[in-house]
Amino acid sequence: MTPFPTIDALTQALEAAGYFADRRLATAVFLALKLERPLLLEGEPGVGKTELAKALSLALQREMLRLQCYDGLEQREALYEWNYAAQLLHMRAAQALHEPSSTPGTGGPDHVGDVVAKMEREVYQARYLIRRPLLQALQTPAPGAVLLIDEVDRADEPFEAFLLEYLGEYQVSIPEIGTVRAGVIPVTILTSNRTRELNDAVKRRCLYHWLDYPERERELAIVRAQVPQASSALSAQVAAVVGKLRSQPFANAFQRAPGIAESVEWAKALVALDTLAIDPEVMADTAGILFKQREDVAALTRDMATELLKPEEAPA
């Protein structure tokens, strides 16, 4: 199932696709591929949950199918729905063709039953099925799909219950057609921001990984790869400052720490402003890139910026 013989090979393939994974994440992905199990990624916003699925799709050269979850998401948007308009047209056309012989009342009750059964067979054909991401993922021909079920914590509990059969068996039941099983098992990634606790039964069907903020080296690698125009000194400063903002004592001052997405954006903004080295002033001016809440922007004072930008003491 996995084209990557080792965890290192997988790490390299992800890196070639622009994604930097640490050993623990790479191990989780490797096992998900090897054991053909869905992988549930939880973590703060902007730490690379969604991006992992995109990178995997590139690395595996599999099509990515994405189901964005939200409150009120229904099966017909996730799995399939019938194309009623086309079914109706089919019935009208059939009626017009068979009008004289099939008019109810001209035949006996059996005859009417036959006509209805025939009509049902005709309108519930696969060609009148509109496939949504979950069904598409089961039917994607080799090498198969990468299925991203994004922000599953936003969907409601009935939807989670519905996912159980899918995640456990990679199959779904369609009453009019029967059971549809996966031709090639889709590589399945679920993400959650943990706005609520997920159902235990869903968790049991998945491998689990908590995606943390990256350590400084990895963040630096990401910023360098995504903002090559930034000098290495500037990128290093970005990674150092953002790392400090996420840890004590600074983290206490903010409601939400900046994610990797914010580091990358910040580096881009600094380049756009022709910044050579970050100073407290430019930091306060660009706080709206690091923080998306008014209180957090206000909390990043010049005094704090001065403190954050102090050179670190060299290890003894």
Ligand X SMILES: Nc1ncnc2c1ncn2[C@@H]1O[C@H](COP(=O)(O)OP(=O)(O)OP(=O)(O)O)[C@@H](O)[C@H]1O
User: Which parts of this chain interact with Mg ion (CB under 5 A)?
Assistant: 50
d(CA 80, CA 174): 9
State yes or no: residue 51 binds ligand X (CB under 6 A). yes
- Between 190 and 202, name the residue whose CB sits nearer to ligand X: 190
d(CA 42, CA 122): 44
Contact with ligand X (CB under 6 A) among 26, 29, 39, 47? 47
Smallest gap from Cβ 153 to ligand X, in A, equals 10
State yes or no: residue 222 binds ligand X (CB under 6 A). yes
Residue-wise DSSP of 159-177: HHHHHHHHHHHSEEEETTT
- By CB under 6 A, the residues from 125 to 154 that bind ligand X are none
Contact with ligand X (CB under 6 A) among 29, 38, 46, 67? 46
- Between 51 and 296, name the residue whose CB sits nearer to ligand X: 51
d(CA 194, CA 253): 22
Phi (first) and psi of residue 308, to 5 degrees: -65, -30
Strands (E) in 87-230, as ranges, are: 129-131, 145-150, 171-174, 178-181, 187-192, 207-211
Other beta carbons within 10 angstroms of residue 297's beta carbon come to: 16
d(CA 303, CA 139): 58
Give the contact letters, 258-297, x = binds to ligand X (CB under 6 A), - = no. Answer: --xx--x---------------------------------
- By CB under 6 A, the residues from 173 to 212 that bind ligand X are 191, 193
Residue 192, contacted partner among ligand X, Mg ion, none, CB below 5-8 A by kind: none
d(CA 257, CA 45): 9
Considering CB under 6 A, how many residues would be counted as binding ligand X?
19
Residue nearest to Mg ion (CB): 50
Question: Residues interacting with ligand X, by CB under 6 A?
Answer: 18-21, 43, 45-51, 191, 193, 222, 226, 260-261, 264
